[in-house]
Amino acid sequence: MQKTTQTGRITSIEPMGTWSNGQQTFNKFKVGFANGDILSFLAKGEFKKEIGENITYEKNPQYGTGKVIYDKPQGQNYSASKSSGSKEDTQTYIIRQSMIKAAIDYHALQSVQPSENDVVNTARNFVTFINNG
């Protein structure tokens, strides 16, 4: 059986205990929909949707399970404004943030107050080292 994506209005949410994959424990919920679907959903904490709410979900009829499909936020963030916001871009920004912090910490130990350019140049050197060895 094939997974399908559907949209439906929630008519009931019933807690059904917990389920563990060996690494994490999830709360299990039986969720009913106006279209007749009744599926099991897993959630960290409480189920994030409410009765009466229309949601898009992926349905796995073989196991009677569902997975909420969340829309990507439309808000402006740095990675979304650059190229495709790929995983590689995110890693680049994380490295840059970490290295600017490392450069600030490094210069804080010096007896002479550094300029902004000194800190930025040190951070660039750290980034180059991280990326190229």
* Model confidence, pTM: 0.54
pLDDT score of 73: 62
**Torsion, Cα of 69, 89, 94, 80 (10° steps):** -50
User: Higher pLDDT residue, 88 or 9?
Assistant: 9
Instruction: Give tens-digit pLDDT for 64-110.
Output: 999 999 876 655 554 444 445 577 788 888 888 888 888 888 888 88
Instruction: Give tens-digit pLDDT for 16-52.
Output: 999 998 889 999 999 999 999 999 999 999 999 999 9
User: Higher pLDDT residue, 47 or 112?
Assistant: 47
pLDDT score of 126: 85
pLDDT score of 119: 84
What is the rounded distance in angstroms from the CA atom of residue 15 to the CA atom of residue 22?
20
2-6, 74-78, 80-84, 124-128, range with the lowest pLDDT = 80-84
What is the rounded distance in angstroms from the CA atom of residue 49 to the CA atom of residue 59?
16
- Contact between residue 66 and residue 13 where contact means Cβ atoms under 8 Å apart: no
pLDDT score of 84: 53
Q: Tell me which amino acid residue 37 is.
A: D
User: Higher pLDDT residue, 130 or 51?
Assistant: 51
Mean pLDDT confidence for 112-127: 85
Q: Where are the beta strands (DSSP E) in 1-133?
A: 4-20, 25-33, 38-43, 54-60, 65-69
